[in-house]
Amino acid sequence: MSQPTLDTIVNLSKKRGFVFQASEIYGGLRSSYDYGPLGVALLRNVKEQWWRSMVRMRDDVVGLDSAIIQATAVWEASGHLTEFTDPLVECTNCHARHRLDKLDNPDQCPTCGQSGTFTEPKDFNLMFKTHMGPVAQDGNEVYLRPETAQGIFTNFENVRRVSRRKLPFGIAQIGKSFRNEITPGQFIFRTREFEQMEMEFFTHPDDAEKWFEYWVEERKNWYLDLGMKPDNLRMRRHDPDELAHYAVDTYDVEYRFPWGWDELEGIANRTDFDLRQHAEHSGRDLTYFDQEADERFYPYVIEPAAGASRTTFAFLIDAYHQEEVNDETRTVLRLDPRLAPIKVAVLPLSKKPELVEVTEQVASALRPLWDVEVDVTQAIGRRYRRQDEVGTPYCVTVDFDTLDDGAVTVRDRDTMAQDRIGIDGVVAYLSDRLG
């Protein structure tokens, strides 16, 4: 099936409570979004799956949660204060501002259509600046982090010491980052506040190439394992002129968004750039001593850096599916059950108190294990469609026969096949399928 349009996903997100415009009751704040009940669950599941594969299932990666506001010296050392810029042009006709490197035609303003009206490009720094303390004055400016990575580099020695790790090992972090993007857009794809899932993998320089290839493969497989369609995913190596100031090699994981291929994640060989910079600027020794080889060196870093919000968006688009069933269009989100916001919906056939009571009993037995929703309103067919539309893998229906035979009907989202199961067997039945 072809990709849904951007409007389709935006409408579904709003209608079903995945994502809302931030400050909507005040007219909305452009490019800021709030995650509703289903959106926050989907986003959390994406982050949990990332943490599971990057930290929990490995013995060579540990976690960290560093501060959003760091000393300004961190951004001087990392190069963000001078290098983290985009080329900004302003149209002298309509005064719209654009990011030059993202324009289809670098000579024509996409807002008013005039050609030859752009000013000379100037470097626009993407970091958000604020002040620490009650008085806004020179000397107390601080920045919101534009990437989570730097908190990892500045803690390299702390984490190595306390976790008693030998190379190679990684430090992973999930958290908010902020960039004052010139042209945010495409819904939650490019926003000024977003979440990243980043891991810095420290290795001997001689092994960096091997680990780079390893992580490129691992990260591609993570998306595929969670059900992303292979046709919608590709790996693209950066041309030398598009590499970030810290990288010697980068692969982007790209997804086929409704507007075309675009970046989901970057896997970069950052060499020893960051550790060297921080060592020079802080005066601390950030080298690594290999006792067996009697060798001291700066480790190289391989960095898989993904966007949590962007990845959530891609999974939402990828799962969207429409099909004709009994002359009706059925919309179904074919999310991997691990990502689905609601795993099981428990539905009484009618609102009769005796059915609702059993429904509550079944739901209570399932709640400690999975995210469960009870829905008692509307015709059962409509309730199935509602659950299909938000990707709930299983619906458990309590009907009048349940009161006699102690069994319920379990319906599969994708096949719509129904099995009759004794209430005592429902947990085992769902455990086999949901894990």
Task: Please report, as ranges, the residues that interact with ligand GAP according to CB under 6 A.
Answer: 147, 149, 179, 181, 190-191, 194, 196, 198, 263-266, 303, 305-307, 309-310
Nearer to ligand GAP, 266 or 299 (CB): 266
Pairing of strands 372-374, 344-348: parallel
Give the C-alpha separation, 424 to 420, whole Å: 12
Residue with tokens 């950030």: 286
Q: Which H helix or E strand runs over 203?
A: strand 193-203
For the bound state, the minimum distance from the C-beta of residue 61 to ligand GAP, rounded and expressed in Å, comes to 16
Residues 6+ apart with CB under 8 A from 120: 89
For the bound state, the minimum distance from the C-beta of residue 242 to ligand GAP, rounded and expressed in Å, comes to 11
Nearer to ligand GAP, 157 or 193 (CB): 193
Listed residue (224, 250, 221, 255) closest to 237, CA to CA? 250
Nearer to ligand GAP, 310 or 413 (CB): 310
Residue sitting closest to ligand GAP (CB)? 307
Nearer to ligand GAP, 267 or 372 (CB): 267
The 8-class DSSP code of residue 52 comes to: I
For the bound state, the minimum distance from the C-beta of residue 45 to ligand GAP, rounded and expressed in Å, comes to 17
Q: Which H helix or E strand runs over 295?
A: strand 295-297
Output phi, psi for 15, to 5 deg.
-65, -40
Nearer to ligand GAP, 181 or 389 (CB): 181
Residue 190, helix vs strand vs coil: strand
For the bound state, the minimum distance from the C-beta of residue 221 to ligand GAP, rounded and expressed in Å, comes to 17
For the bound state, the minimum distance from the C-beta of residue 189 to ligand GAP, rounded and expressed in Å, comes to 6
Nearer to ligand GAP, 177 or 409 (CB): 177
Give the C-alpha separation, 215 to 211, whole Å: 6
Radius of gyration of the chain (CA): 25
For the bound state, the minimum distance from the C-beta of residue 413 to ligand GAP, rounded and expressed in Å, comes to 28
